[in-house]
Amino acid sequence: MGWLLLSVLTLSLSIAMASDSTAMLDLAKAINPVANLGWTGSDPCNWKNVDCTNGRVTAIRLPGQNLKGTLPSSINSLSMLSILTLQGNSLSGPLPSFSGMSSLQTLYLDGNQFSSIPGDFFRGLTSLQNVSLDDNPFEQWLLPSDLASADGLVLFSASNASIGGSIPEYFGGLQSLESIRLSYNNLTGGLPASFDKSSLKNLWLNNQRGPMLSGSIMVLGNMTFLTQVWLQTNGFSGSIPDLSGCKSLFDLQLRDNALTGLVPSSLMELQSLMNVSLRNNKLQGPYPQFKDGIKVDNGKLNDFCRYDPGVPCDDRVMVLLEIAAGFGYPAAVADAWSDNDPCSNWLYVTCDPQKKNITVLNFANAKLSGTISPSIGKLSSLRSLILSNNNLTGKIPDVLASMPNLQSVDVENNDLFGEVPNFRKEVTLKTDGNPLLGTTPAPGRGGSGSGSSGGSNSTTPSGMPTTSSITGSGSPTGVIVGVAVGLAVLMLIGVGVIYCVRKKRHQKFRRVQNPPSLLNGGSVPSDLQSIKVELSSLNGNGNASEQHSRASSGPHMGEAAGGSMVISIQVLRLVTNNFSEENILGKGGFGVVYKGELHDGTKIAVKRMEAGVMGKGMNEFQAEIGVLTKVRHRHLVALLGYCVEGNERLLVYEYMPQGTLGQHLFDYAQNGYPPLSWKQRLTIALDVARGVEYLHSLAQKSFIHRDLKPSNVLLGDDMRAKVSDFGLVKLAPDGKYSVETRLAGTFGYLAPEYAVTGRVTTKVDVFAFGVILMELITGRRALDESQPEDSMHLVTWFRRVIANKEKIGKVIDPVIDLDEETYKSICTVAELAGHCTAREPHQRPDMGHAVNVLSPLVQQWKPTSTEDEDCFGIDLDMPLAQVLKRWQANEGTSTMTLMEETSNASIPPKPYAENFLSKDGR
Ligand code: ATP
Ligand code: MG
């Protein structure tokens, strides 16, 4: 029997040895060059760099041998192999499955050219300890659940290895795991909660590509073995945890994330720390001061109250940050609160006129979660606290009831619970929409304050109803808010209506001083109520002939813009539903455009500039925008007003219900629009030409748009066009919106001389207009990368094709209904388009010429026009010079002070007729 067993064992060993030999021979065949490896003879156990035990292959060590070739699929029959190190070669092709190599402990395949990794690669690799797969051009793959059974895993390193998906929870359960190195992958999601049980020392997750890692990093606080943490260049948010338990942490890289809140003092005091980076987050509070000798990269680009290490922030700042802590330091709050003076127009915060004491906190619709901090009680000057329409939970802190100046509290539509504190009778309290308010907190729910009992959400402890109906006669807030909103609405309606007022006088907005009674009066809690704007309708002599009180705005409204229209961020928040996503109309190079809706349904468009997009300081911005608000024409989208508060720069435009020309010309099918007829296209072309001609003729040295393109041609419900965004490019700082930047984005519209030299004349707009004409004719974008290379650039292709008149048909948009008359009209416009896009600026016509060519074509379809009515005293049939004179007379003195030519403000503009006649001899 013993003999038989021995025979079987011997036989199976020989079979295994034979299969090892086969696998090794396969390997020797698949990789090259093998000549210098010392792999000679038939027994692999005699080969160099190969170890055997009892005739079985246990280790293959071939790092950095310049090997090419692939790994054969028979490699997984090396069932005793415990070490395979092939790093730093040029091995390629798909990795075979290593499934079943249950002895494999060390596997180094990094720095090769392997193209993919099979799904069952790690199946049964239960002995794995050290794995490195970094720097291979794999197809994207996910970390498989098979790895969970490698419970002796110490190092898992696969940076730059195309790993997608999230970090698996099982990593936290692998008790031996010390190092996870997964930088430069495509990982998403958050840090696994299971990490708090791990013994991880080394965590490299930096620079994820694509959507990146995100969420909180709080779990780090429980990972007490950590020595090195690289989380830089991801999307982590929330605050930095208390890392005082991480006694061995020496390297902490957190830069380039979206972390908020204070830098914990425990971090600055951490003895082990040698190297830390916090740059480019949204960190707040005092600028951190680390011990001497620590390598720190705090850098700028955070929201610290000031940038002097260790210098404390203003007390008010610290209180507000405690309040923000209750909400979990939301990013929007961090963005809005970034200096040391909360009374310098911080969002959500209103102060008294002396700009010292905080009087209003208004967080309505701010998407807040978390709890209401009792620190609010420290703001003894607070009159109004608005927290409505958020997801706040917990209790209303009792301390609020003892705030001496508090007059109104609105916590409607949250998820609060517990007893409502016993507020003074005079306090207007709104608590509707909190179904659990008045109940005992459910187990496990946080809360800020003591326990609670009894009551219902419809009554306060004092027996008063807590609904909005509580705003009785003794409590003016609701009425005032209502009046203020009404006033705001009226003001904005006035603004919206202004452009079609058919009176022959010009209206303009002017600020009046804040009535002292309102500013100082104890009964008005919000800046919405504290300021009035006067809409004065001026008569021809510039005297105010009538006044309508209009609500809104903040104490920062300045006269810098000479009577221009300043609107406060609170009003803009109100009308855009707190800049909600549903209100987004689109996004451009300067920021996001939101739709705003007034109570009566009147709509506006609010362009909220991205921070830093406007290079100009506040005064310069106001001065230039102030000018732009005065440029009014039927074919220019009116800039109705603006807002400059803190870092916020917003522009308010009239709303154009049919969106952009681009949406109707190129994306009509996706948007559910019918294609534009030729007649509509022609009308739009003429509208644009008139708008731009008007700009060009405003001052002697002209006012140049510089960014004419279909997304800046907006349409009304009648499909008539207006040009928008004139003057914006000039406002941007050099880098952000430079010729170079724009070359990449809107290359197709840039005149060659502008692209090459940056030289700007009106002919730059004429060129861009020519491109728009080509787009109207062809239905093709200025730059269309889906086209073959020779027709990708519209101008080049179009000019080449129409050089042969017979071929014009080739360029016409196939969706245009073509009859003879249309064809002729298109030929004329095609010729004009060619003319406008002439290489040399001096060969291009003036915009006036374009108007003259296009208007008879439009008339052809519309012999009796009813559109030439007067608007702002501008009659389009009247020669421009005359129009301008009249307009100037109406406007008073400053209105012709245009951006390009402030010093020549009083020089009359060059009449269109003169331009045209001198060129064309007509
Ligand atoms: P650029 O920043 O170069 O002007 P753009 O025109 O594409 O590029 P925005 O001007 O910011 O970008 O406008 C973004 C989008 O918002 C537009 O494409 C349009 O759909 C919408 N939009 C802008 N202004 C208005 C408006 N007054 N009325 C209606 N929609 C508007
Ligand atoms: Mg635009």
Q: How far apart are CA 72 and CA 94, in angstroms?
A: 10
Distance 290 CA to ligand 2 centre (A): 46
Ligand 1 atom closest to Cα of 662?
18
pLDDT digits (tens, 9 = 90+) for 382-420: 999 999 999 999 999 999 999 999 999 999 999 999 999
Q: Give the residue, out of 576, 581, 583, 585, with the most ligand 1 atoms within 8 A of its beta carbon, to mutate for a pocket test.
A: 585
Q: How far apart are CA 511 and CA 557, in angstroms?
A: 8
pLDDT at res. 252: 95
**Sequence letter at residue 543:** N
Residue 643 CA: distances (Å) to CA of 349, 497, 613, 623: 16, 20, 15, 12
Higher pLDDT, 482 or 616: 616
Ligand 1 atom closest to Cα of 653?
27
Q: Say yes or no: CB of residue 585 within 6 Å of ligand 1.
A: yes
Q: Say yes or no: CB of residue 58 within 6 Å of ligand 1.
A: no
For range 540-562, the mean pLDDT: 28
Q: How far apart are CA 173 and CA 145, in angstroms?
A: 12
* Three-state DSSP class for residue 491: helix
pLDDT digits (tens, 9 = 90+) for 267-310: 999 999 988 999 889 999 999 988 888 888 765 678 889 888 87
Higher pLDDT, 748 or 574: 574
- Computed over every residue of the chain, the mean pLDDT equals 77
Distance 511 CA to ligand 1 centre (A): 28
pLDDT digits (tens, 9 = 90+) for 219-275: 999 999 999 999 999 999 999 999 999 999 999 999 999 999 999 999 999 999 988
Quickly state the pLDDT bin for 678 (edges 50, 70, 90): very high
**Sequence letter at residue 874:** I
Q: Say yes or no: CB of residue 607 within 6 Å of ligand 1.
A: yes
pLDDT at res. 453: 32
pLDDT at res. 591: 85
pLDDT at res. 428: 94
Ligand 1 atom closest to Cα of 729?
3
Q: Give the residue, out of 613, 711, 742, with the most ligand 1 atoms within 8 A of its beta carbon, to mutate for a pocket test.
A: 711
**What is the crossing angle of helices 762-778 and 847-861, to 10°?**
30
Rounded to 5 degrees, what angle do the CA atoms 777, 780, 786 make?
A: 155
Q: How far apart are CA 871 and CA 500, in angstroms?
A: 6
> Is residue 919 pLDDT above 50, yes or no?
no
pLDDT digits (tens, 9 = 90+) for 757-771: 777 788 999 999 999
- Ion ligand 2: residue ranges with CB closer than 5 A: 588, 712, 725
> Is residue 505 pLDDT above 80, yes or no?
no
Distance 747 CA to ligand 1 centre (A): 18
Distance 593 CA to ligand 1 centre (A): 6
Instruction: Say which ligand is closest to the CA of 651.
Output: 1
Residues 110, 130: contact at Cβ < 8 Å? no
Instruction: Say which ligand is closest to the CA of 639.
Output: 1
DSSP string, 313-379: PPHHHHHHHHHHHHTT--HHHHHH--SS-TTTT-TTEEE-TTS-SEEEEE-TT---EEE--GGGGG-
**Strands, E, within 478-590: which ranges?**
507-511, 533-538, 544-550, 584-587
Q: Say yes or no: CB of residue 876 within 6 Å of ligand 1.
A: no
Task: Please give the backbone phi and psi of residue 220, each rounded to the nearest 5 degrees, phi first.
Answer: -55, -30
pLDDT over 90, % of the chain: 55
Quickly state the pLDDT bin for 135 (edges 50, 70, 90): very high
Instruction: Say which ligand is closest to the CA of 658.
Output: 1
The fold adopted by the segment(s) 9-165 is 3.80.10
Quickly state the pLDDT bin for 878 (edges 50, 70, 90): very low
Quickly state the pLDDT bin for 642 (edges 50, 70, 90): confident
Q: How far apart are CA 294 and CA 314, in angstroms?
A: 27
Q: Give the residue, out of 594, 660, 670, 742, with the most ligand 1 atoms within 8 A of its beta carbon, to mutate for a pocket test.
A: 660
Higher pLDDT, 396 or 452: 396
Instruction: Report the 10 Å Cβ neighbour count for 10.
Output: 10
pLDDT at res. 729: 60
> Is residue 900 pLDDT above 60, yes or no?
no
Instruction: Say which ligand is closest to the CA of 589.
Output: 1
Residues 699, 901: contact at Cβ < 8 Å? yes
For range 801-826, the mean pLDDT: 91
Residues 356, 380: contact at Cβ < 8 Å? no
Q: Say yes or no: CB of residue 583 within 6 Å of ligand 1.
A: no
User: Domain segments of the chain: what residues?
Assistant: 9-165, 315-437
Ligand 1 atom closest to Cα of 592?
11
Distance 215 CA to ligand 1 centre (A): 32
> Is residue 120 pLDDT above 90, yes or no?
yes
> Is residue 593 pLDDT above 70, yes or no?
yes
CATH of domain 315-437: 3.80.10.10
What are the catalytic residues? 707
Quickly state the pLDDT bin for 753 (edges 50, 70, 90): confident
For range 51-80, the mean pLDDT: 95
Q: Say yes or no: CB of residue 134 within 6 Å of ligand 1.
A: no
Range scoring the smallest mean pLDDT among 38-52, 497-511, 613-627: 497-511
Q: From the annotation, which residues make up the binding site for ATP?
A: 607
For range 818-824, the mean pLDDT: 92
Higher pLDDT, 811 or 865: 811
Q: Say yes or no: CB of residue 593 within 6 Å of ligand 1.
A: yes
Q: Say yes or no: CB of residue 590 within 6 Å of ligand 1.
A: yes
Q: How far apart are CA 133 and CA 84, in angstroms?
A: 12
Ligand 1 atom closest to Cα of 711?
6
Q: Say yes or no: CB of residue 656 within 6 Å of ligand 1.
A: yes
pLDDT at res. 640: 86
Ligand 1 atom closest to Cα of 589?
2
Distance 714 CA to ligand 2 centre (A): 9
> Is residue 664 pLDDT above 80, yes or no?
yes
> Is residue 650 pLDDT above 50, yes or no?
yes
pLDDT at res. 26: 95
Higher pLDDT, 499 or 21: 21
Distance 591 CA to ligand 2 centre (A): 10
pLDDT at res. 268: 92
Instruction: Say which ligand is closest to the CA of 706.
Output: 1
Q: Say yes or no: CB of residue 637 within 6 Å of ligand 1.
A: yes
Distance 711 CA to ligand 2 centre (A): 6
Residues 651, 631: contact at Cβ < 8 Å? no
Burial class (CB in 10 A: 0-12, 13-18, 19+), 716: middle
Residue that is written with structure tokens 């006649």 in the block:
917
Q: Say yes or no: CB of residue 659 within 6 Å of ligand 1.
A: yes
**Sequence letter at residue 873:** G
pTM score, whole prediction: 0.50
For range 354-367, the mean pLDDT: 93
Q: How far apart are CA 565 and CA 604, in angstroms?
A: 14
Residue 192 CA: distances (Å) to CA of 148, 221, 909: 14, 13, 67
Q: From the annotation, which residues make up the binding site?
A: 607
* Domain 315-437 in the same topology as domain 9-165: yes
